[in-house]
Amino acid sequence: MDFLPGFLRNLSLYANYTHNWMGKNNDAATLTGTAKDALNVSLAYETKRVSARLSYNYTSPFLMNTTSDVMQNYYCDAVNYLDLNIDYHIIPNKLIVNASASNLLNETTRYYQWRKDYTRSDLATGIRFQVGMIWNIF
């Protein structure tokens, strides 16, 4: 956003929304593995030495598999994720320290069978942190 004054000019915003109209009726998508709605928003700040990005992702519930018995179908429930990534260039494009934090909202991935009140499984990964270093030798 070069038109902004001072340090604000190093900001950038990315956003996209997708709506899927596939399906035979309004209550369930019939295309497995495809959510009806998905939203991605990222706010970034970049200079010669620092790059930081905060990203949000929403995915609506979606069908995981189909069977001849609709009561055996299972779904992935809606999820909201928030992640943060930061890079610091000690030597620009040669030596970089990076850090990331994933799942800052501490979201669980929940699967349900047939109806939302029939939980099939619930996966909790917690908030994850990672720190690393990149050394580009070429």
Domain boundaries of the chain, sorted by first residue: 6-135
Candidates 72, 71, 75, 81; CA nearest to 34 is: 75
Q: What is the pLDDT of residue 25?
A: 59
Once rounded to an integer, what is the mean pLDDT over residues 25-43? 79
Cα 107 to Cα 50, 87, 111: the distances in Å are 28, 24, 13
Q: What is the pLDDT of residue 108?
A: 94
pLDDT grade for 125, boundaries at 50, 70 and 90: very high
Once rounded to an integer, what is the mean pLDDT over residues 89-99? 93
Candidates 110, 105, 98; CA nearest to 126 is: 105
**What percent of the chain shows pLDDT beyond 70?**
93
- Extract the runs of DSSP E, i.e. beta strands, from the chain: 11-19, 37-46, 50-59, 62-65, 74-76, 79-91, 95-102, 108-113, 119-124, 128-135
- Of 67 and 39, more confident: 39
pLDDT grade for 24, boundaries at 50, 70 and 90: low
Q: What is the pLDDT of residue 130?
A: 97
Query: pTM of this prediction?
Result: 0.82
pLDDT grade for 29, boundaries at 50, 70 and 90: very low
Candidates 131, 130, 133; CA nearest to 94 is: 133
Q: What is the pLDDT of residue 26?
A: 54
**What percent of the chain shows pLDDT beyond 90?**
62
> Given the DSSP bridges, would you call strands 128-135 and 74-76 parallel, antiparallel or unpaired?
unpaired
Once rounded to an integer, what is the mean pLDDT over residues 1-28? 79
CA dist 12 and 3 (Å) reads 11
Report the 10 Å Cβ neighbour count for 70: 9
Of how many residues is the chain composed?
A: 138
